């Protein structure tokens, strides 16, 4: 569960940045779950500062070990704010995709021999925290490609 490990290793400020970047109309991406956990009415959650909501959301993800929801949160952030990073990784490792979406995850895998050079190129262009975040997702998505997991672990 690489995304959960990444979540646990992440600084509070970084998670707040991701959480806030995905907010819409004053609501964070997991505010429904946060409201439920705090026994708030959904509209009342907006009275709680975003940093407190993010802290509760992070706790819900980490405590529950909800890798699927964590993966979705991180993926939404990356596709919304650093889509070029995702496209560059997929293109650099010969993964067939349509605008960042891979239809056949089982058969479309990164070329292991291209992972290290692609990651080196990504590091020249993109924020290293975003590259690391994406690698945690890729390692979870393609466990049969050990080079991806190794690239992510080297960054830890």
d(CA 118, CA 88): 8
Per-residue pLDDT, averaged over 113-138, amounts to 97
Q: Work out the angle between the directed axes of helices 67-81 and 50-64 (0-180°, nearest 10).
A: 130
How many angstroms separate the CA atoms of 19 and 122, rounded?
23
- pLDDT of 108-121, one tens digit each? 999 999 999 999 99
Question: Do 145 and 8 contact (CB within 8 A), yes or no?
Answer: no
In this predicted structure, what is the pLDDT of residue 131? 98
20 has pLDDT over 80:
yes
Is it the case that residue 59 has pLDDT exceeding 90?
yes
Per-residue pLDDT averaged across 137-145, rounded? 95
How does pLDDT run across 88-113, given as a tens digit for each residue? Answer: 999 999 999 999 999 999 999 999 99
């Amino acid at each position: 569960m690489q995304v959960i490990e990444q979540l646990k290793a992440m600084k509070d400020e970084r998670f707040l940045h991701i959480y806030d970047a995905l907010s819409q109309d004053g609501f964070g991406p997991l505010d429904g779950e946060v409201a439920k956990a705090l026994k708030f009415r959904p509209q009342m959650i907006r009275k709680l500062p975003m940093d407190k909501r993010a802290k509760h959301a992070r706790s819900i993800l980490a405590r529950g070990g909800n890798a699927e929801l964590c993966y979705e949160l991180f993926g939404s952030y990356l596709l919304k704010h650093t889509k070029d990073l995702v496209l560059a990784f997929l293109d650099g490792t010969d993964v067939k995709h349509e605008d960042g979406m891979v239809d056949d995850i089982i058969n479309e895998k990164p070329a292991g021999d291209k992972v290290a050079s692609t990651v080196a190129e990504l590091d020249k262009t993109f924020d290293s925290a975003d590259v690391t975040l994406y690698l945690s997702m890729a390692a979870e998505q393609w466990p049969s490609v050990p080079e991806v997991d190794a690239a992510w672990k080297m960054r830890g």
